[in-house]
């Protein structure tokens, strides 16, 4: 129980962010994932529902491992929360699981790590499929150069050079656990896991790595960008289309349900597991 007479419910959520102005509820008339999901859950609860999420995604960014929670006095089965929400949601948002949580659980503050994947379609010809779910780069990209450069960012660093100007994080110092760059046919996947992320951090890293992969800068340039701690030294911010929040990790005590690490069209590539 979250408080006297209240249940704390956690949900697993996935969504295609293309037509939303990000996760966070905004002014009236602005379409967001949070408001869309809250409206659906409020119909199931027959009362207002207010959500807290593990990580606020930007406009156009997707999720297949978002975790949220809410408090309610309404008793429903976990199946009712999942199926009831999905009946009332549009085609591009889906609830995958629900679980009653202890009062001290918090989707954001109890998370110990977050993982993103950035998917690049690397070909001269613009793809007709998944065009809002991957980032197209027409220049031939050298994955080995990108993978080598990525290792300069692993560890604890000041990531100010990869931080958006409007970032509200208290500190730019983050621990990056891994940054893997792999090719799968025409697709290149950046798989990045960290304790937490700064605003636009993954997209700015992707922009630098694609510049290096295209041969426009040497591998060591990423180290210069990192050490400069100046955002403008790192070039352009990559498009949001290929970015997915794929996993949020919590301590074992919470026993949250585990699903595949997405997006779904990558689940056949076993080398991405782990």
DSSP string, 134-194: SEEE-S---HHHHHHHHGGG-EEEE-GGGS-TT---S-SEEEEEEEEEEEETTEEEEEEEE
Q: What is the pLDDT of residue 28?
A: 78
Which of the following is catalytic: 58, 71, 123, 142? 58
pLDDT tens digits for 54-65? Answer: 999 999 999 999
Q: Which CATH class for the 111-244 domain?
A: alpha beta
- For the cut 70, the answer to whether the pLDDT of residue 274 exceeds it is no
pTM of the model: 0.94
Q: Over range 94-108, report the average pLDDT.
A: 96
User: CA torsion sign, 249 to 96 to 64 to 25?
Assistant: negative
pLDDT-based confidence at residue 27 (cuts at 50, 70, 90): confident
Which of the following CATH numbers is that of domain 7-109: 3.30.70.580, 3.20.20.210, 3.30.70.250, 3.30.365.10? 3.30.70.580
244 annotated to a ligand binding site: no
Output the pLDDT for position 260. 87
> Are both 7-109 and 111-244 of the same fold?
yes
Q: Is 58 a catalytic residue?
A: yes
> What are the extents of the domains in the chain?
7-109, 111-244
């Amino acid at each position: 129980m979250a408080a006297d007479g209240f249940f704390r419910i956690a949900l697993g959520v996935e969504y295609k962010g293309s037509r939303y102005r990000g996760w966070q509820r905004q002014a009236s008339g602005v379409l967001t994932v949070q408001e869309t999901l809250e409206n659906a859950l409020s119909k199931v609860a027959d009362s207002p529902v207010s959500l807290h999420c593990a990580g606020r995604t930007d406009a156009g960014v997707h999720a297949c491992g978002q975790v949220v929670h809410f408090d309610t006095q309404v008793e429903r089965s976990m199946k009712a929360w999942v199926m009831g929400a999905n009946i009332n949601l549009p085609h591009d948002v889906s609830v995958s699981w629900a679980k009653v949580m202890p009062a001290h659980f918090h989707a954001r503050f109890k998370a110990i790590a977050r993982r993103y994947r950035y998917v690049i379609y690397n070909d001269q010809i613009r793809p007709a499929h998944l065009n809002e779910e991957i980032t197209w780069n027409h220049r031939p990209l050298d994955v080995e150069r990108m993978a080598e450069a990525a290792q300069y960012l692993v560890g604890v660093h000041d990531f100010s050079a990869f931080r958006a100007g409007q970032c509200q994080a208290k500190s730019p110092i983050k621990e990056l656990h891994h940054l893997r760059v792999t090719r799968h046919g025409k697709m290149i996947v950046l798989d990045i896991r960290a304790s937490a992320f700064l605003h636009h951090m993954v997209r700015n890293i992707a922009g630098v790595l694609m510049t290096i992969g295209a041969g426009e800068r040497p591998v060591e340039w990423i180290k210069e960008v990192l050490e400069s701690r100046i955002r403008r030294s790192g070039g352009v911010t990559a498009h949001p289309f290929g970015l997915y929040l794929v996993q949020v990790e919590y301590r074992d005590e919470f026993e949250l349900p585990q699903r595949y690490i997405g997006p779904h069209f990558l689940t056949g590539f076993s080398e991405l597991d782990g």
